[in-house]
Amino acid sequence: MRILIASGIYPPDIGGPAQYARNLYETWKAEGHDVKVAAYRWERAAPPGLRHLLYLTKIWRKGWNADLVLVLDTWSAAVPTMWACQLMGKKYLIRTGGDFLWEQYVERTGDLVLFKDFYQTRLSKLTRKERLIHAWGGAALRRAAMVIFSTAWQRDIFVPAYGLDQAKTTLIENFCGDRLSAMPPDNRSFVAATRVLKWKNHDRLKRAFELAQEKLASLGRETVELDTGKAVYDSFVEKIRHSYAVILVSLGDISPNMILDAIRAGVPFIVTRETGIAERIKECAIFVDPENEAEIAEKIVWLADPANRAAQAAKVQAFTFKHSWSEIGAEIIAVWKKTQK
């Protein structure tokens, strides 16, 4: 097949869609498909509107003969691809990642609204630009031949929020690869998200860590560290492998790659209960309420005990779920073939 992957970002950019695009590209190429990627590069220097128009022309140039067009976001790549495909008379698929609109709203306002509550409680507070994102992003979703979600949790939020036809949605879970060899921790660092964004809940996490440190000191126990250092993906996975634990307390994470990478590495983790993979990972997860700093601190203190850390690591290492890029690629192509009937 001739396949075009439309993504707002691509390595060396950091982020879930970039990794998804790269791995699908490599998987499909290895299987003999003719694969191209359209990502924003020099177009980023242009102002909004012109930037999107330039990206539309890139989709047209790279996708005019494509059999399958796969979009990996719901705005920056999705809207220009929607118009390009309409001009070319082509169908397209959208695979959702996070939620650009909610993330932008939280960054702009500092209003730490949970993802699950956003569409029910905050739409009246959107700016003109944000209303435009909601309108055109929704149009791109509704006009897609199929919308692929990685979790039912996000689908249940998006279907009413954007007026989607449930029959034109499907689920394909995120990547969870072969296990890496488990290693004893080199330190007592809790690795956190590298992007300091408000929806990642960093301020609450830092305050919770301060509470945990005070509690550990009062008990006469060894303290722990919070590591929020940036790293490219491969280096970040290695950092996780050597860490004491991973922690993610965001206000909503659909299918967090960092947690799935911690599982691959056999490293215990603390994760927000506001996640679409809660049911999938419940056997080995330590869940926290992202709005409750005291609870987060309590779980950090508990996991700081080496005996508890060892017990939790054993649960993670016994978790058997896997979902390869080859399986994901095959499932996407199967979805595409159904839309051609």
Q: Are residues 142 and 17 in the same domain?
A: yes
Q: Are residues 335 and 312 in the same domain?
A: no
pLDDT beyond 80 at 195: no
Domain count, the chain: 2
What is the domain extent for residue 247? Answer: 189-318
Q: Are residues 166 and 217 in the same domain?
A: no
Query: For the domain that residue 200 is a member of, what is the CATH number?
Result: 3.40.50.2000
Q: Cα–Cα distance between 229 and 286 in angstroms, integer?
A: 23
Q: Does 115 map to a domain?
A: yes
Q: Are residues 72 and 121 in the same domain?
A: yes
Q: Are residues 332 and 312 in the same domain?
A: no
pLDDT beyond 70 at 233: no
Q: Are residues 202 and 312 in the same domain?
A: yes
Reported as a single tens digit per residue, the pLDDT across 242-274 is 999 999 999 999 999 999 999 999 999 999 999
Q: Are residues 19 and 151 in the same domain?
A: yes
Q: Are residues 205 and 118 in the same domain?
A: no
Q: Cα–Cα distance between 340 and 35 in angstroms, integer?
A: 19
pTM of the model: 0.93
pLDDT beyond 70 at 47: yes
Q: Cα–Cα distance between 173 and 281 in angstroms, integer?
A: 12
Q: Are residues 198 and 166 in the same domain?
A: no
Q: Are residues 164 and 56 in the same domain?
A: yes
Q: Does 181 map to a domain?
A: no
Q: Does 180 map to a domain?
A: no
Q: Does 167 map to a domain?
A: yes
The residue-averaged pLDDT of 23-52 equals 94
Q: Does 183 map to a domain?
A: no
Q: Are residues 34 and 161 in the same domain?
A: yes
Q: Are residues 170 and 215 in the same domain?
A: no
